[in-house]
Structure 1
Amino acid sequence: MNILQSIRSFIRTADAGSLAAAARTLGISPAAVGQNIARLEAHLGVRLFNRTTRTLALTERGALYLAEVRHIERDLQRAQAAVTDPDAMPQGRLRVASTAAFGRHVLAPLLPALQARHPRLEIELLLTDRAVDHAREDVDVSLRIEQQLVDGIVARPIAQVPFVVCAAPSYLAHAGTPPTPDALRDHRCLVFRYPVDGRVLPWGFVRDGMRFDAEVRPALVCDDIDALAAMSAAGGGIARLAAFVAAPWLVRGELQVLFATGDGARTSPEPMRLFLCVSDRRDLTPKVRALMQALLDALPEAWRVDAV
C-alpha cells in the first residue's frame, strides 16, 4: 500500500466532502480515491468515514486522525522546496485566505492571470474576516489586516492601503461639508462593525505625525463594507472606506472625498496595513512567492511594501 497516497486521498476527501471532489484535486478517479481510503482504514483497523448514499462524514476517530496527519502533505511540500531550486515552476494546490473586501476587490481579479502564467497551479480562494488557522484549514498563505494577526504566525507587511472618508454629493448638499475630522461628531457617520468580534472599528487619523481617533456619531452600522459604500452613495451619511472599495464610486461621482489628502495635508486618514502571512518561513515556497509578486505588481506603487 502507498501509505502517503492513501493519506492524501483521506485528507482531500475530508476537506472536499466527497470522493469526486477529492479525485478532481488529485487527478485520479473517485474509485481510486475510495480504494485508497479503504486500504487506509484496513491498515489502521478503524472506520474513518461514515458513509451513506448521499453523505460522507468523518467519524470521531477519523477527525482525530485528520488532526494528526494534516501536516504531512505540507511537510512534504516544504521538504521538496528546501532541496529544489527556489525559482522552480510554481505548481500544486495554492489555498489562499483573504479578508473579504480585499479578496473581492483586489486579489480575485489578479488570480486568473496568475494561473494563466503558471498553469500547473490549482488555486483556491477563501474569503473571510476571521483569522484562519493555517494548519487546521490547510491554508498556504493568508492576507490579513493588523487586527487579524495572531501569535505564532509569520507576517510580512505587503501594503499600506489608504482609507478614504467620503459622502454622496446629495448628503453634503443638505448637511454641509465637515472642514476637519473634528467636525464628524456633528454628522451622520456610517460605521463598520467587525464581524468576528463585534467591535465598531475606530476612524483613525494622523495629524502632524500624531495619531488620533475622530469622534463619530454612528447613524448606520453594518458588518459589510460594500453595503456601507452603497448606503453612503444613497445619501445615508459619511463613510470611511478602503481606497479599493471607494474607487468605483468616486469615479462615477456617486461619492466625494472629504478632507485634503497627500503629502501636504496636515491631517489624513490612517492607512490600513496589510500583511502576507504563512505558518513558517519554510512555507515561502515558489507558489507562495509567485502570488506575492503578482500582488505587489498589481498594487499601486504608493501602496506597496516590498515583502519579497
Structure 2
Amino acid sequence: MESLISIECFVRSAEAGSFAEAARRLGLTPAAVGKNVARLESNLGVRLFLRSTRRLTLTEAGERFLAEVSGGLASIQSAVANLASSQGQPAGTLKVSMGMAFGRDYILPLLGEFLTRYPAILPDWHFENRPVDLIGEGFDAAIGGGFELPQGVIARELGPAHRVLLASPGYLASRPAVQSPADLQQHDGILIRSPQTGRVRSWALRTRDDRLATLDLRLRMTMTDPEAACHAAMQGLGITLVSTVHALPHLQRGTLVRVLPDWYVDTGSLVLYFSAQKLLPAKTRAFIDFIVEQFRAQKLAERFSANWRPAS
C-alpha cells in the first residue's frame, strides 16, 4: 500500500509542473518530493513523469493515475481535517486569500470574534489583490469579485461588485462641472491597470434604471492598486473609478466624493469561493458561515451597492 505522502507529492507535482513548486506548497524540500515520487514509481512499476530541466510532464500512465487518485486524496484530507479538532470544535490552519484594503477594513475587524468562537483555528490570511488558485496554492477559501471563477469551485455571493467614480472636493471645485457622462472627457482620469494582464479595461457606466453610457476619462495616470488611486485622487490629481469596497471609507471621511452619483459600473458579485468537494473541512465551513452571518448582520451587501445612500 502506497503512503499518503508519496501520493500527495505526486499529485502536487503534477499540478505544479515541478518538484520545487510542489515542495513549496507541501513544506518539504524538492529532494524529498522527488524521492517520494521516485519511490511511488518504483513500487508501481511505471513511469509517471517525463522529466526535463524545465518541467515535469505526465506520461499516459501518470495522467490515468492522477485522474484516479486526486479525488480520493482530497476526500481523505478533508476527513482527516474534520477529525483533527479540539474537543469537537473546528481546528487547524485556515488559509484564506482576500484583497488588501477589503481584508483590512472589513474582515480583519471580525478576527477577534471569530477566534472567540473558534479558538482552535489558526488563521493564515493572505492580503493580495488577485484571484488565487485554491487547490494549486493550497487555500481553503478566498474572497474577491469582478472576475470569472474557475471550474471546480463553489461561490457564496456576499454582495454586489460595483465601481463608482470618485474625486476630491477641491478637484471638482476647480474644474468644469460634471453633470453627465459626456462631461468626463474634459477631466483627468486616474485609471486602474490590471496587475495580472497589464491592461486598462474599458468600462460601461449604467444607472439603476438601465441607462448606459461610455466611461471616457482623459488618461492622466495609471495605478495597479485601487487604494493608491484613491490617494492620488485625494491629492486633487483627477477622477478615479474604484469598487465601493475601496470607496466607502473615503466617502465616510469626506476625503473623496462621488462623481455622477447616479452612475456606476456593475462588475458582477463579491463572492466567497471555496473548493467544490463533498466533504468540506469543519474549519472552512465555520469560516464561510461566520462571514455570511457577519455580512448579513452589518448589512454590508446593501452598503456595497452603488445605489446605497447613507441615512442623513
> TM-score, structure 1 length as denominator?
0.69
Distance in 1 separating the partners of 2:23 and 2:275: 25
Deviations for 1:240-272, whole angstroms, at most 9, x for unmatched residues? 222332233233332122234xxxxxx331345
1:277 aligns with 2:273: yes
**CA RMSD for the aligned pairs?**
4.5
- Cα deviation for residue 112 of structure 1 reads 4.3
Deviations for 1:4-50, whole angstroms, at most 9, x for unmatched residues? 47777998x978978xx959xxxxxxxxxx9999899777769xxxx
Structural mapping, 1:160-179, within 5 Å: 160-179=160-179
Contact 2:9 2:36 in 1 (8 A): no
Contact 1:131 1:148 in 2 (8 A): no
Q: Secondary structure at the match of 2:166?
A: strand
Q: Percent identity?
A: 24
1:187 to 1:117, Cα distance in 2 relative to 1, 3 A: same
* Structure 2 counterpart of 1:250: 251
* Structure 2 counterpart of 1:301: 299
* Structure 2 counterpart of 1:97: 97
- Cα deviation for residue 80 of structure 1 reads 6.1
Structural mapping, 1:215-230, within 5 Å: 215-230=216-231
Distance in 2 separating the partners of 1:246 and 1:257: 9
1:9 to 1:279, Cα distance in 2 relative to 1, 3 A: closer
1:177 to 1:74, Cα distance in 2 relative to 1, 3 A: farther
Q: Which amino acid aligns with 2:251?
A: L
Distance in 2 separating the partners of 1:141 and 1:257: 32
1:288 aligns with 2:284: yes
Q: Which amino acid aligns with 1:252?
A: R
Q: Secondary structure at the match of 1:136?
A: helix
* Structure 2 counterpart of 1:182: 182
1:213 to 1:99, Cα distance in 2 relative to 1, 3 A: farther
Contact 2:5 2:36 in 1 (8 A): no
Structure 2 residue runs without a partner (length 5+): 13-18, 44-54, 304-312
Contact 1:153 1:280 in 2 (8 A): yes
Distance in 2 separating the partners of 1:152 and 1:8: 19
Deviations for 1:186-215, whole angstroms, at most 9, x for unmatched residues? 211211111111242525322522444422
Q: Which amino acid aligns with 1:230?
A: H
- Cα deviation for residue 134 of structure 1 reads 2.0
* Structure 1 counterpart of 2:138: 138
Structural mapping, 1:43-82, within 5 Å: 74-79=74-79
Q: Which amino acid aligns with 2:285?
A: R
1:118 to 1:282, Cα distance in 2 relative to 1, 3 A: same
- Cα deviation for residue 291 of structure 1 reads 1.8
Distance in 1 separating the partners of 2:115 and 2:6: 28
Deviations for 1:122-166, whole angstroms, at most 9, x for unmatched residues? 222233444322222112222231324223432332211443322
Distance in 1 separating the partners of 2:162 and 2:244: 6
Structure 1 residue runs without a partner (length 5+): 24-33, 47-58, 261-266
Q: Secondary structure at the match of 1:268?
A: coil
Distance in 2 separating the partners of 1:192 and 1:3: 48
* Structure 1 counterpart of 2:263: 268
- Cα deviation for residue 293 of structure 1 reads 2.8
1:277 to 1:252, Cα distance in 2 relative to 1, 3 A: closer
Q: Which amino acid aligns with 1:160?
A: P
- Cα deviation for residue 81 of structure 1 reads 8.2
1:145 to 1:283, Cα distance in 2 relative to 1, 3 A: farther
Q: Which amino acid aligns with 1:280?
A: A
- Cα deviation for residue 220 of structure 1 reads 1.5
Comparing 95-104 and 174-183, the one that deviates more: 95-104
* Structure 2 counterpart of 1:236: 237
Q: Secondary structure at the match of 1:147?
A: coil
Q: Which amino acid aligns with 2:119?
A: P
Q: Which amino acid aligns with 1:233?
A: M
Q: Which amino acid aligns with 1:301?
A: K
